Amino acid sequence: MSNNMKEEIKGLFRKPYLSWVVAIFVIYIVLNILLSGFYDTIPLIAIYAKTVNWLKLGFSLLLTLIIGMLVSLTMVLTYVKYKERKQCKEGFALSGVGGIGGLVVGICPLCVTGIFPLLFGLFGTGFSFASLPFQGIEIQIGVITVLITSLYLLTKQID
């Protein structure tokens, strides 16, 4: 991570941007919980605690928090760059893809009741992130990669 990138991200943790970063993070996590139906899964986790793979669930939850933080940082940095220069197309496009990708995966990729299963169901095909080799964790890692690339592009742009 370059010094310029570090300095720009540190600047987001100061007033007035810190409140925006926190607000976007909270809104993103709440949206993720609602859209993925994770609130229905929590009681089932308690009931079937002995059969839950806690390592995968914990890793997935950690990745979700990382995605939420990266989405909030990217959105606020995109706003800052837009205000400064009125042009930040590459970073903005990637941040949009990353944010939507994070919402598609949800909190727990196995629990998602989101758009992919619905779309595939219209064509008579069942789909679940559970059918992927790492049960959707690979999608979360891909989203993190896209968001980090977006942050890099936003901080790299030259005036």
Q: What is the DSSP letter of 78?
A: H
Q: Which two tokens stand for residue 135?
A: 């049960």
Q: Domain residue spans in the chain?
A: 3-156
For the segment 15-26, what is each residue's pLDDT rounded down to a tens digit? 888 999 999 999
- Token representation of residue 5: 């990138």
Q: What is the pTM of this model?
A: 0.74
Question: How far, rounded to the nearest angstrom, does the alpha carbon of residue 23 sit from its chain's CA centroid?
Answer: 15
Determine the Cα–Cα distance for residues 29 and 25; give it in Å rounded to an integer: 6
The predicted-structure confidence for 97-151, as pLDDT tens digits, reads as follows 555 656 555 555 555 455 555 555 555 555 556 666 676 778 788 888 888 888 8
